[in-house]
Amino acid sequence: MPAFTVLRIAKLKTWGAIAGADLHNARQRETPNADPERTPNNRLLLGHPVVTTHDAIKEELATQRIRNNAVLGVEMLISASPEYFRPANPSRAGTYDPERLKDWTRATTNWLQLRYGRLIKRAFLHLDEATPHVHVVMVP
């Protein structure tokens, strides 16, 4: 069975939505579908480890006039189908081939940096759910 790329993009139109995304992505609030024992394996791929996404976007937009209905940020979720991460047994949620994960993470990070560069404020790799994935928040 072929493996597929997964890419979901959502507009963040309020400061609350940006703060909420950051709390979720940094695992600073309860995430029911995440395994707390594996949460320490998550890691920040891009962005400042201490500066929140909210503060980084505010700093980026500081000199701009912002419309009431403006998109303040964009969140992307990037992953691959389970067949890529665990080709021997795609149904074994929560597991992955370490070499495939390393290659995918490197390729994803390189693509993000080349395509979006400094627009990216934070990118987190999540390994505590069924399939590895990256959450990216950037300015539009």
DSSP for 83-130 reads HHH-TT-TT-TT---HHHHHHHHHHHHHHHHHHHGGGEEEEEEE-SSS
Count CB atoms within 10 A of the CB of residue 44.
13
- Report the pLDDT value the prediction gives residue 1, as an integer from 0 to 100: 61
Locate the domains of the chain by residue range: 5-84+97-138
Tokens linked to 75:
């969140």
Residue 22: left (phi > 0), alpha (psi -120 to 50), or beta? alpha
Cβ 72 vs Cβ 13: under 8 Å? yes
Question: For the structural domain made of 5-84+97-138, what CATH number should be given?
Answer: 3.30.930.30
Distance CA 56, CA 54 (A): 6
At residue 63, the pLDDT reads: 80
Which amino acid type is present at position 105? T
Strand-pair category, 73-80 with 133-138: antiparallel
Q: Can you give the pLDDT of all 140 residues of the chain as single tens digits?
A: 667 789 999 999 999 999 999 999 999 998 999 999 999 999 999 999 999 998 999 888 888 888 888 899 999 999 999 999 999 888 888 889 999 999 999 999 999 999 999 999 999 999 999 999 999 999 98
